[in-house]
Each structure stands twice: as structure tokens, then as C-alpha cells.
Amino acid sequence: MATDKCENKCECESIPRHVPENPFNYTNLELAERKKALRDLEKDYPTLPYAWLEMAYDWHKQTPEEEVCKIINEGLWESPGKFSEPPREKSVKKM
């Protein structure tokens, strides 16, 4: 049995460990801040999917503050986005 454990240990060492993705090249400190912020967002917005919270956090972190202020102050977030479909006109039947 001792031999089996040794063989299994050797096989496990050859398997590479998972490396989490870091597409925005956050530092270790920024990753810790992100983790804490996402945990807080998850508590504040429990019905939203976690991926949406991540997307919102990353967008806010990567977008310049001037652009965020412009979007808020000019109300650009209230209008349809550039990828939204235009509203369809309802066809009304006349009798």
C-alpha cells in the first residue's frame, strides 16, 4: 500500500495546477480588492448573476473616471445602447 501512495503522488505532481485567468493584469493587491468588492456586491445584490457583478466591476475599474462621470452626468445610461435594436412599430389593423 505504501508503494501505491508513492506512485499516486508522483502522478499528481506531473498534473499542472489551475492558474486563474487575469485578463486585465491586476496585481495581487488589486485582485484582493476585487475579491472583497465582489463579495460585498454579492451581498448587496443577491439576485444578480455573479458574472454580471464581475463585468460591472471590471468595466468600472478599467473605464477612465472622466468617461464614467460623463455617462452619469449626461444621462447616457438612460438611452438605448449602441448595440440595442431600434423599437419596432406595432402594426395596427384598421377596420
Q: What is the dihedral of CA 64, 70, 71, 73, to 10 degrees?
A: 140
How many Å apart are CA 31 and CA 52, to the nearest integer?
A: 17
For residues 86 and 45, give the distance between their C-alpha atoms in angstroms, rounded to a whole number. 30
Q: What are φ and ψ of residue 63, in 5° steps? A: -90, 135
Q: What share of the chain is helix, strand, coil (3-state, %, to 5)?
A: 55, 0, 45
Smallest CA-to-CA distance from 37 within 63, 65, 60 is with 60
| Mean pLDDT value across the chain | 84
User: How does pLDDT run across 23-50, given as a tens digit for each residue?
Assistant: 999 999 999 999 999 999 999 999 999 9
Higher pLDDT, 49 or 6: 49
DSSP 63: S
Locate the domains of the chain by residue range.
46-79
